[in-house]
Amino acid sequence: FETSLDHDEL
Amino acid sequence: MNIFRFAGDMTHLASVLVLLLKIHTIKSCAGVSLKTQELYAIVFATRYLDIFTDFISLYNTFMKLVFLGSSFSIVWYMRSHKIVRRSYDKDQDTFRHYFLIVPCLLLAMIINEKFTFREVLWTFSLFLEAVAILPQLVLLQRTRNIDNLTGQYIFLLGAYRAFYIFNWIYRYFTEPHYVHWIPWIAGLLQTLLYGDFFYYYFHSWKNNKKLQLPA
């Protein structure tokens, strides 16, 4: 897996 | 985390608990669309691929586990529980999954923030969540009999979406560079789908009558 974008919501 | 985001998560959690409570205690899933529940299970499974790799907070990880666990247990109850599955309105719940899944997947491959396996599936989960309620709304429209718990379930889901929109507006003004077009548009579309239902829900509540949708 590559680093994902910042998904801090559910 | 702001109050809108938290309220959104809590109404989302409450919606799932109401549904599980109905299924678990009344042992009935009448009026609940298995298609919608299966779509939600797919939504959470594809969105939370990062659950064991990216740590955001204990709260986030815990909530992800709750949504994954609850969505798959609802599907299990409706498909496999020997009493619950008998109350499922199979003949009415005929919406085809792939009419929603295939376009969402294609769209996610075209429109995404980054063309990677995880980002495409994450975007797919947003698009799919936006339309996942459709089989449920179609089922309600067909059976027209909505018990209180099913009505509350859909109301809470709609409230969750509305709170998320307030959360985005709040974050847009308080956090620098907070711009996320894909979830915003998908989320807005999803909230609009509840508009019609909300109208009838408030109407029945105001007149203190049982919720009934027009034929």
- Yes or no, beta carbons of B119 and A9 under 8 Å apart: no
How many angstroms separate the CA atoms of B184 and B162, rounded?
11
Other residues' Cβ atoms within 10 Å of the Cβ of residue B46: 21
For B63, which of A2, A7, A10 is closest by C-beta distance? A10
Q: According to the model, what pLDDT value does residue B202 have? A: 83
pLDDT > 70: percent of chain B: 99
* Mean predicted confidence (pLDDT) in B131-141: 93
Residue B208 vs residue B161, higher pLDDT: B161
pLDDT digits (tens, 9 = 90+) for B145-173: 688 888 999 999 999 999 999 999 999 99
Identify the burial level of B68 via C-beta atoms within 10 angstroms of its C-beta, where 0-12 means exposed, 13-18 middle and 19 or more buried: middle
Q: Taking 60 as the threshold, does the pLDDT of residue B112 lie above it?
A: yes
Residue B213 lies in a domain: no
Does B49 sit within 8 Å of A1, measured CB to CB?
A: yes
**Where in the sequence is the domain holding B36, given as residue range(s)?**
3-205
Position A3 pLDDT exceeds 60: no
Integer Cα distance of B114 and B33 in angstroms: 33
Chain A residues whose CB is inside 8 A of the B53 CB are 1
Chain B residue with the nearest C-alpha to that of A8: B56
Condensed to tens digits (0 to 9), the pLDDT of residues B60-110 reads 999 999 999 999 999 999 999 999 999 999 999 999 999 999 999 999 999
Q: Has residue B110 been placed in a domain?
A: yes
Chain B contacts of A2, Cβ < 8 Å?
116-118
Give a yes or no: residue B53 inside a domain. yes
Output the pLDDT for position A2. 40
Residue B122 near residue A4 (C-beta atoms within 8 A): yes
Q: What is the ipTM of this complex?
A: 0.84
Task: Provide the 3-class DSSP secondary structure of residue B88.
Answer: coil
CA distance B77 to B209: 30
Q: Domain total for chain B?
A: 1
Query: What are the residue ranges of helices labelled H in B34-97?
Result: 34-47, 58-80
pLDDT band at A5 (very low <50, low <70, confident <90, very high): low
Please tell me the distance from the alpha carbon of residue B100 to that of residue B142, in angstroms, as a whole number.
Answer: 19
* Dist CA B86 CA B82 (whole Å): 7
Of the pLDDT bands very low, low, confident and very high (cuts 50, 70, 90), residue B198 is confident
Average pLDDT for B40-56: 94
